[in-house]
Amino acid sequence: MSKKPKKMSQGRPTKYKEEYCKTIVEFFDVPHTREVEKTRINKDGTHTKWFEEVANSLPTFERFAVDCGVHVDTLHEWRNKYDSFSEACKRCKNIQRTMLNDLAMRGFYNATYTMFVAKNITDMRDTQHIEQNSNVRNTTVVTDKEVADEASRMKEELNE
């Protein structure tokens, strides 16, 4: 009996690692702000130092993909294929949204830019609630031909 050859899988092997579930959450779960030391040289040559709170960069899936050496589309594929990675990504979305809201509300981001980012990387959307009141009860659609026929009929009645 001859052995059947093993089927070769098609395509490049995946770069996915189960540890990415933990790594991506750690990547997103960063402090919202940090303190940086500022120094000013006064007119008399003395130095004045103080600390200022600045926003950390908002973590993105695009930047995480670059760190992993893959395209962001690959992260989408992993999310569809691996349930644990999908759950980790959902958690990251919540972390990202919380950070965006916090920093925007504290004035670290320009309002217009915040709205743009929120609409594009979160599930936030502008919504309009339109109330419509209508008193129209029954409407009848009449075609031009029906109007012309009725006009002709009425004209004939008048001529009789």
Residue 136 lies in a domain: no
Residue 40 lies in a domain: yes
Q: What is the pLDDT of residue 101?
A: 93
Number of domains within the chain: 1
Place of tokens 């743009």: 116
Residue 152 lies in a domain: no
Sorted by sequence, the CB contacts under 8 Å of residue 84 that are 6+ apart come out as 18, 21
Q: What is the pLDDT of residue 133?
A: 74
> pLDDT tens digits for the chain (160 residues)?
556 656 556 777 788 889 999 999 999 999 999 999 999 999 999 999 999 999 999 999 999 999 999 999 999 999 999 999 999 999 999 999 999 999 999 999 998 888 888 888 887 777 777 887 766 666 677 788 888 888 888 888 877 7
> What's the domain range around 111?
20-127
Residue 89 lies in a domain: yes
Q: Three-state SS for 60?
A: coil
Place of tokens 């009789």: 160
Cα–Cα distance measured from residue 97 to residue 58, given in angstroms and rounded to the nearest whole number = 9
Residue 113 lies in a domain: yes
Residue 93 lies in a domain: yes
Residue 106 lies in a domain: yes
Residue 110 lies in a domain: yes
Q: Three-state SS for 33?
A: strand
